[in-house]
Amino acid sequence: MTDKEIVQLCLDVSTRERGFRLLVQAYSKKLYWHVRRMVVSHDDADDVVQNCFIKVWKGLPEFRQESKLYTWLYRIASNEAITFINEKYRRSSVALETEGESYSANLKTDPWFDGDAVQVQLQLAIDTLPDKQKQVFIMRYYDELKYEEMEEILGTSTGALKASFHHAVKKIELFLKDNLNQV
Amino acid sequence: MEPINENLNRKLKQNTMRVPDDYFTNLEQSIFEKTIGTETEQIKKAPVIKRIMIITTVAATVTAIYFGISFFGKDSNTKLAIQLAEMSDTELNNYMDDQIAALSYDDLYGYVAQHVDDISTNTIFNSAFELPAQSDASLTNDLHEQVLDQDVLNQIIDKTEINLEPTLMDSIDEEILQEYLNDATLFEHLGL
């Protein structure tokens, strides 16, 4: 079923429930992985993605189809993840200088993270990126979205997105060079 | 795409994040429970609340009439509503049964007489319950036809026949009887 058909089902009160089920089945994995790469922890991603779909459900009657379905969903998910990360940092009592160590320790004990020391450093490197660069990097590199799609989701020009991605890659490489002997 | 160091690329692309078994099935279920499930629950709850409020209002009104005073003010009515809302279905049913059982025929008759204006109270009660010996003399033939159902009419006829002596029936002329039955004043004579 196409996104357009799903949207039509969602907008009709009599078929809204069926439409939403199809929407969740089509996008829960994609959005989960997008959110997971942003927030890293499985438990956090689980919370964020559920909140995201609750917002989608509540917002469906007002969805005007001015943007494509997946664009709208990614925007909600991405914003939810950023909001969550910022709130988490605000709540955290850990001092900035020990934040990296704490993050690293959490990842090593995370039962749903299998990475080695290098991959922990990689996650740390991504985590050091500013919000916008992190969003751009994850959407482009992991989710493999086109710049045109990202432009619609983030409301940023393709040129600015390319620049953000470039800076993100350079920062990650630099971070790893500084923190690891060999990558 | 921006070229990325090959080693870095390999490391980045390697998915090191796992999820619990059946996570996505459970995730979908959890989402449905928090969205569709919540709404369905609200839809189901609405009639129950509405029903409780109606029952509460009726119970409070009937009880007030029963005691002949406006026993329940707004505050007490709200309290009663809260009490009823906290009751289980069984408790609620028992409460309503008790309330109804406490009302006599005269209480109900009085309530209906006071609140139903568009039709004779006698008519309602006589058609719903057994006919009293003396009916409202002001009842018109048209009203009888509209209200009394066939079973009630049969009861009247049966009672009339039982009360008549067979010898008396034999002595009545057929034509006179027919004429008498066709007379519109018959109902008045019968007190109906």
A176 interaction partners in chain B (CB closer than 8 Å):
8
Task: Among B47, B82, B115, identify where a domain stops.
Answer: B115
Q: What is the band of B79 on the pLDDT scale with cuts at 50, 70, 90?
A: low
Look up tokens 């942003």; give the residue. A38
- Between CA B95 and CA B98 the distance in angstroms is 5
| pLDDT tens digit sequence for B97-142 | 777 677 766 776 676 566 655 555 555 555 554 444 444 444 445 4
Name every residue whose Cβ is closer than 8 Å to that of residue B180 and which is 6 or more positions away in sequence: B186
Task: Among A66, A91, A116, identify where a domain stops.
Answer: A91
Nearest to B163 by CA among B190, B125, B137: B190
**Same domain for B34 and B111?**
yes
Enclosing domain of residue A28: 1-91
- Between CA A47 and CA A29 the distance in angstroms is 14
| pLDDT tens digit sequence for A149-182 | 999 999 999 999 999 999 999 999 899 888 876 5
The number of distinct structural domains making up chain A is 2
Q: Domain of A165: which CATH number?
A: 1.10.10.10
**Same domain for B39 and B108?**
yes
| Least confident interval from A114-123, A141-150, B38-47, B175-184 | B38-47
Instruction: Reduce the DSSP state of residue A113 to 3 states and report it.
Output: strand
Which chain A residue has the Cα nearest residue B31? A50
Q: CA dihedral in degrees (B162, B163, B166, B169; nearest 10)?
A: -110
Q: Which of A20, A36, A40 sits opposite B36 (nearest CB)?
A: A20
Task: Among B115, B149, B179, identify where a domain stops.
Answer: B115
Residue B55 tokens read as 């029952």
CB of B33 closer than 8 Å to CB of A53: no
**Same domain for A107 and A165?**
yes
| pLDDT tens digit sequence for A52-107 | 999 999 999 888 888 889 999 999 999 999 999 888 878 776 555 555 666 777 78
Which chain B residue has the Cα nearest residue A111? B18
A48 CB near a chain B CB, below 8 Å? no
CB of A9 closer than 8 Å to CB of A22: yes
Q: What is the pLDDT of residue B87?
A: 73
CB of B56 closer than 8 Å to CB of B77: yes
Q: What are phi and psi of A173, to 5 degrees?
A: -60, -45
Q: Per residue, what are the HEC states of A62-87?
A: HCCCCCCHHHHHHHHHHHHHHHHHHH
A80 interaction partners in chain B (CB closer than 8 Å):
none
Distance between first and last Cα of chain A: 43
Residue A133 tokens read as 């660069």
Q: Does residue B183 have a pLDDT over 90? A: no
Q: Does B90 or A34 have the greater pLDDT score?
A: A34
**Same domain for A101 and A80?**
no
**Same domain for B100 and B29?**
yes
- Between CA B192 and CA B182 the distance in angstroms is 15
The number of distinct structural domains making up chain B is 2
**Same domain for A87 and A142?**
no
Q: What is the pLDDT of residue B135?
A: 47
CB of A117 closer than 8 Å to CB of A39: no
| Least confident interval from A122-126, A152-156, B73-77 | B73-77
Residue B18 lies in a domain: no
Task: Report CB contact under 8 Å: A113, B11.
Answer: no
Residue B38 lies in a domain: yes
Q: What is the pLDDT of residue B130?
A: 47
CB of A19 closer than 8 Å to CB of A6: yes
- Between CA A6 and CA B36 the distance in angstroms is 16
Looking at residues A140-155, what average pLDDT do you find? 93
Handedness of CA B49, B52, B54, B57 (dihedral sign): negative
Q: What is the pLDDT of residue A101?
A: 63
Question: How many contacts does A have with B, using Cβ atoms within 8 A?
Answer: 76
Q: Does residue B48 have a pLDDT over 90? A: no
Q: Which of A17, A25, A172 sits opposite B28 (nearest CB)?
A: A25
Q: Does B40 or B178 have the greater pLDDT score?
A: B178
**Same domain for A58 and A5?**
yes
Residue B164 lies in a domain: yes
- Crossing angle for the helix pair A117-127 and B6-13, to the nearest 10 degrees: 90
CB of B65 closer than 8 Å to CB of B114: yes
Task: Among A73, A91, A109, identify where a domain stops.
Answer: A91
A153 CB near a chain B CB, below 8 Å? no
Residue of A29, A34, A37, A124 to mutate, interface with B, max B Cβ within 10 Å: A29
- Between CA B145 and CA B124 the distance in angstroms is 13
Task: Among B69, B85, B115, identify where a domain stops.
Answer: B115
Q: Does B173 or A170 have the greater pLDDT score?
A: A170
Q: For chain A, what is the mean pLDDT?
A: 89
Looking at residues B181-192, what average pLDDT do you find? 66
Task: Report CB contact under 8 Å: A114, B12.
Answer: no
A54 interaction partners in chain B (CB closer than 8 Å):
31, 34-35
**Same domain for B156 and B106?**
no
Residue of A24, A32, A34 to mutate, interface with B, max B Cβ within 10 Å: A24
**Same domain for A51 and A107?**
no
Q: Does residue B46 have a pLDDT over 80? A: no
A115 CB near a chain B CB, below 8 Å? yes
Task: Report CB contact under 8 Å: A50, B17.
Answer: no
- Give the global pTM: 0.57
- Crossing angle for the helix pair B36-67 and B23-34, to the nearest 10 degrees: 30
- Between CA A183 and CA B128 the distance in angstroms is 92
The 10 Å Cβ neighbour count of residue A178 is: 9
Which chain A residue has the Cα nearest residue B2? A166
CB of A129 closer than 8 Å to CB of A168: yes
Q: Does residue B15 have a pLDDT over 60? A: yes
Q: What is the pLDDT of residue A130?
A: 93
**Same domain for A101 and A87?**
no
Q: What is the pLDDT of residue B131?
A: 47
Enclosing domain of residue B137: 132-192
Q: What is the band of B178 on the pLDDT scale with cuts at 50, 70, 90?
A: confident
Q: Does residue B19 have a pLDDT over 90? A: yes
